[in-house]
Amino acid sequence: MKKANVLNFVAKLGYKSAIKAAGVASQYHTYQPQEPKALRELKK
């Protein structure tokens, strides 16, 4: 196989797995927690 073919295959595989994994967090009723106020103040 050529290098370009292998890289294209890996890219397509990663894309498909990312699409399948996108709904998993909402399926398990998890969410992105809100940042604490102290952490936001440290960023400034």
pLDDT digits (tens, 9 = 90+) for 1-44: 799 999 999 999 999 888 777 766 655 666 666 777 877 777 76
Q: Quick one: pLDDT at residue 13?
A: 93
Q: What is the pLDDT of residue 44?
A: 63
DSSP one-letter code for 30: -
What single letter denotes the amino acid at residue 44? K
pLDDT at site 17: 86
**What pLDDT, on the 0 to 100 scale, is given for residue 16?**
87
- Predicted local confidence at residue 8, as pLDDT: 95
Whether 19 contacts 12, CB under 8 Å: no
Q: Give the Cα separation of 3 and 5 in Å (integer).
A: 5
